[in-house]
Structure 1
């Protein structure tokens, strides 16, 4: 899954792809490098990012989804949003997957909107409010806590008729470096073996800050972690650097 941030303020690529021309060019680059899904996000969720309304989010997206679909019709598009109105807008424009960091917690109408589309849904583990999304929680057992959250939310999703579910353990959101490294070690225990796991560790601070590096200088370390999670059953890697991740996936497939 290649990341297409159409934001002015994302932490490593803000403002680079937030118009139709640059978004199309970057999409083409990601696809040529081996991306199979393009994840479009109009709202940065880095710490202290600008909070957007659904109207502003949709305004930023504009015709980017439909233009990508027109130029690259075979491409799977996921839309990164926690708003019900943006889900409906994206569905009308042609998205294939809904990537909701909030687990339906930041908009009371979100899960009903998802159910109406009948699209696959990415469920992420996160704190219960937008304001607290980056607050560090003292987990007794991070793996157990994530699975308890997934179990409760999956029941809620299935009651609404949402059955095509992908799980994201939520790297980078309200977790300590130590907890996130434990998550890496215990990926095989997440998700109950029934649902595909998406892993999003690309350019995350739990990797680069302990190393004293920048988000753009941790590719070797990131690929080692990508290989580790693939070996434990992860199915989707959400990444900025598609070409490097593709090499890791190919290595994994050859040696498994």
Structure 2
């Protein structure tokens, strides 16, 4: 297996002209703007709550904040791009003003939401759909010149959580990655981060295999983002609740870091930070 450090481009991301060094792992903290994530006490209270949460995650060691206007968990309410933009409001620019050093990724599968976020100051695009739910997404990603997080997922919003039995999950995901990265590169997207898509339409066994084989995704060419925080493949087999699996989650985090994962997308930043420091 080739040493990951052999390609210098691999180590930096160009986020709006800011070069981000990926030689050590980074923590991405999740900031959901969904009503069930904040007590909905009008816009001002929401903005205040989001800023408090962002500050807490930055203090605990997150360098990236992932803002998500729409939930993509099973049976979540579907939002249009207009509803997403409305929900984001001034949140991105407020966080940027308050914490200029923070990197903000925007979790959306709509190109229009990306355009809005770009004007508000986002640094990365986190599209759970791999450009499959909006045909303009790759073009808009190229226009912004921002790093693009490419996630493996089923081809439509409706089938997002349908459990598919793969002959070989690692081979299937790697094939998907190589096709989509070729398309992104041909359109002019320079920085691509790969996310194998834990929690999206995959069996528990397949996800455990993915954890074991993380090092093979993306052939060591692109940095890997791993998002396993509070995912059911960890807590359901244990008969636990999403909040009670910290120990198991950190063991798995350590396992993927040892295989070269560069970004951990998490709810519990302080716990992940301990794991990164241990690593």
TM-score scaled to structure 1, two decimals?
0.95
Map of 1:151 onto structure 2: 178
Aligned residues: 248
SS at match of 2:52: helix
| 2:126 aligned with 1:103 | no
Partner of 2:76, secondary structure, is: coil
| Residue correspondence of structure 1 range 52-201 to structure 2 within 5 A | 52-201=79-228
Check if 1:26 corresponds to 2:53: yes
What is aligned with 1:220?
Answer: 247
Q: Deviations over 1:107-143 (max 9, x none)?
A: 1111111111000000000000000000011100000
Unaligned stretches of 5+ in structure 1? Answer: none
Match of residue 15, structure 1, among 12, 18, 38: 38
**Separation of aligned partners in 1, 2:257 and 2:35:** 32
Structure 1 Cα separation of the partners of residues 62 and 218 of structure 2: 24
Output the CA distance in 1 between the equivalents of 2:186 and 2:211.
30
Map Cα deviations across residues 194-224 of structure 1 (whole Å, 9 max, x no partner): 1000000000000000111110000000000
Q: Report the equivalent of 2:271.
A: 244
The 3-state SS of whatever aligns with 2:266 is coil
For the Cα contact (< 8 Å) 2:38–2:49, is it kept in 1? no
Cα shift readout 1:22-42 (whole Å, capped 9, x = no counterpart): 000000000000001000000
Question: Could you tell me how far 1:15 is from its partner in structure 2?
Answer: 2.7
2:22 is aligned to none
Residue 149 of structure 1 aligns to a residue in which SS? helix
Aligned to 2:24: none
Where 1:103 maps in the other structure, the secondary structure is: coil
Instruction: Confirm or deny: 8 A CA contact 1:6 1:16 kept in the other structure.
Output: no
Q: Report SS of the residue matched to 2:78.
A: coil
Quick one: distance in 2 between partners of 1:202 and 1:170?
Answer: 12
Deviation at 1:8, TM superposition (A): 1.8
Distance across 1 between alignment mates of 2:63 and 2:39: 21
Q: Give me the whole-angstrom Cα distance separating, in 1, the residues matched to 2:39 and 2:157.
A: 25
Counterpart position of 2:23? none
How far is the alpha carbon of 1:46 from its aligned partner? 0.4
Q: Structure 1 CA distance, aligned partners of 2:188 and 2:52? A: 37
Q: CA deviation at 1:16?
A: 5.0
The runs of 4+ residues in structure 1 deviating greater than 3 Å are none
* RMSD of Structure 2 on Structure 1 (CA): 1.0
SS at match of 1:2: strand
Between 43-52 and 109-118, the greater mean CA deviation after superposition: 109-118
Q: 1:163-201, CA deviations, whole angstroms, 9 ceiling, x for partnerless residues?
A: 200000000001000000000000011111010000000
- SS at structure 2 position matched to 1:154: helix
CA distance in 2 between partners of 1:82 and 1:58 (Å): 12
